[in-house]
Structure 1
Amino acid sequence: MKWPSDLIPATLQRRYKRFLADVVLADGSEVTVHCPNTGAMTGCAEPGSRVWLSQSDNPKRKYPYTWQLVEVDDQPVCIHSALANNLVGEALGSSGLTELAHYRSFRREVKTETGSRIDFLLRSEGLPDCHMEVKSVTLLDAEGCGRFPDAASSRALRHVDELRGWVEAGQSAVLFFAVLHRGIDRVKAAGAIDPAYRDALARAEAAGVKLLAYRAEITTSEMRLSHSLPVSVD
């Protein structure tokens, strides 16, 4: 995935109201930018951090700049969580995910019989349908481990339970962690932050939900999923 335009460096002043951040551009001017991440962004929103922005030429946008990357401990991190699904879609389309290469087709944002939406529905003749949810991981602990979630999340908990339900109904399910922090070398549940999620994840894995994690290679010109990482509940 290539960025839509050359990314613009800036310095973060503060993030607030979930969707907004104030930054200082290289010429010293201060602007308010859109923050495309509704999570806690723990460790990724420290004032003074070096950040990179994209710029839209849409005259209807109130905030033409969008915050895309932040530098954390000299490592690039993508804070635009919705891009995780784009990265996974690209990798599926190019058969870049070895563990899922046996599926021949996929659809995105599929409405299920329960009325919810699944990020990806994977299909191949002779195999049960595979329901896959994607989560972006940017929280890094002191040991180089990525943790999810970075705040207690009833939505993430519901998704895990839904995946377990699909497996128990005789289909397949995958929980895919897209690691958008180049300093992370493995992924685990953040039990200290959300013990209910950790327990639900353990139940889902025991039922047969497959856990996968891939790390993205991130530069100011492009981003792509590169290789798998170990993932576990604890």
Structure 2
Amino acid sequence: MKFPSPLLRGRLVKRYKRFLADVLLDDGTAVTATCPNTGSMLGLATPGATVWLSESTSATRKYPHTWEMVEADLGRGPELVGINTNHPNRLVSEAIPAGTIPELAGYAGLRREVKYGVASRIDILLEDPAKGLAYVEIKNVHLSRTAGLAEFPDSVTERGVKHLAELSAMVAAGHRAVMLYLVQRADAERFTFAGDIDTRYAEAFRTAHAAGVEAIAYACRLTPEEITVTRRIPIEA
């Protein structure tokens, strides 16, 4: 996924009201950017952190800038971390036909945001006359508290627990269901669940996995110009 133009670098002044962030750009301009992330962003919203913003040319937007990435250092040098939770569906939708995610290859059709379950929408529905249906739920992962180890979630997620239950129901109905954890950071070597942050989610995953819900985790490469899905990393449940 390429950005329309290279991202702008700046320093985070503060994140507030959950969806807003004040940033001082490198050229000295102070801007307010939207923050497309509902989580806590644990360890990634420290004032003074180096952040990267995209800029919209739309005349109707109240805040033209969007917070896309932040630099984080867990002792191995700074790494770009993607915090925009609107990107994973698009990234995976591009990666599947490109053959980057072989576990999801071979389906004739791919649709996004399809209604299913109880008032929910599946991120990606794969369809094929021979293979049947595959329901793919995607979660953005950006939390890391130990070098090389990505974690999910970064805050309590009732919605995430609901999704796991609905995926289990799809398996019970005879379909394939896949939980895909997309890690928007290149320093991730493995993935696990932050049970100390949300015990219920970790337990719900184990229940769903035992019911037949598959799980895979993929890391991304990030630059100020683009984000690409690159490689599968192991899950430590």
The verdict on a shared fold, with TM-score over 0.5 as the criterion, is yes
Matching residue of 2:3:
3
Q: Which residue of 1 aligns with 2:235?
A: 231
Could you report, residue by residue, the CA deviation over 1:144-191 in whole angstroms, capped at 9, with x for unpaired residues? 211111001100110011111111121110000010022221111111
Note the residue ranges of structure 2 that are not aligned, 5 or more in a row: none
Q: In structure 2, what residue type is equivalent to 1:22?
A: D
**RMSD (CA atoms):** 1.2
User: 2:65, 2:147 → 1: CA distance?
Assistant: 34
Q: How does 1:176-195 map to 2 (within 5 A)?
A: 176-195=180-199
Q: Does the 8 Å CA contact 1:149/1:190 hold for their aligned counterparts?
A: yes
| Alpha carbons of structure 1 residues 155 and 113: separation in structure 2 relative to 1, 3 Å | closer
What corresponds to 1:120 in structure 2?
124
Could you tell me which residue of structure 2 aligns to residue 28 of structure 1? Answer: 28
> 8 Å contact 1:34–1:65 — kept in the other structure?
yes
Whole-Å separation in 2 of the counterparts to 1:27 and 1:101: 45
Deviations 1:22-54 (A, max 9, x none): 111112232111111111111111111111111
Residues 96 and 102, structure 2, Cα contact 8 Å, conserved in 1? no
Shift of 1:56: 1.1
Q: Is the 8 A contact 1:145 1:188 kept in 2?
A: yes
Q: Is the 8 A contact 1:211 1:232 kept in 2?
A: no
| 8 A Cα contact 1:128 1:170, kept in partner | no
Count of residues paired in the alignment: 233
Instruction: Work out the percentage of aligned pairs sharing the same amino acid.
Output: 43
Q: Distance in 2 between matches of 1:178 and 1:77?
A: 12
In 2, Cα distance between the equivalents of 1:109 and 1:78?
22
Consecutive unaligned residues in structure 1, runs of 5 or more:
none
Does residue 96 in structure 1 map to residue 100 in structure 2? yes
2:50 is the alignment partner of 1:46: no
- What is the CA deviation profile of residues 199-233 of structure 1, one whole-angstrom value per residue up to 9, with x for unaligned ones? 11001111111101110110111111001010132
Find the counterpart in structure 1 of residue 88 from structure 2: 84
Distance in 1 (alpha carbons) for counterparts of 2:207 and 2:179 = 13
- Distance in structure 1 (CA, Å) of the matches to 2:219 and 2:181: 8
1:112-157 Cα offsets, whole Å, 9 max, x none, are 2643211111112222311110001000022421111100110011
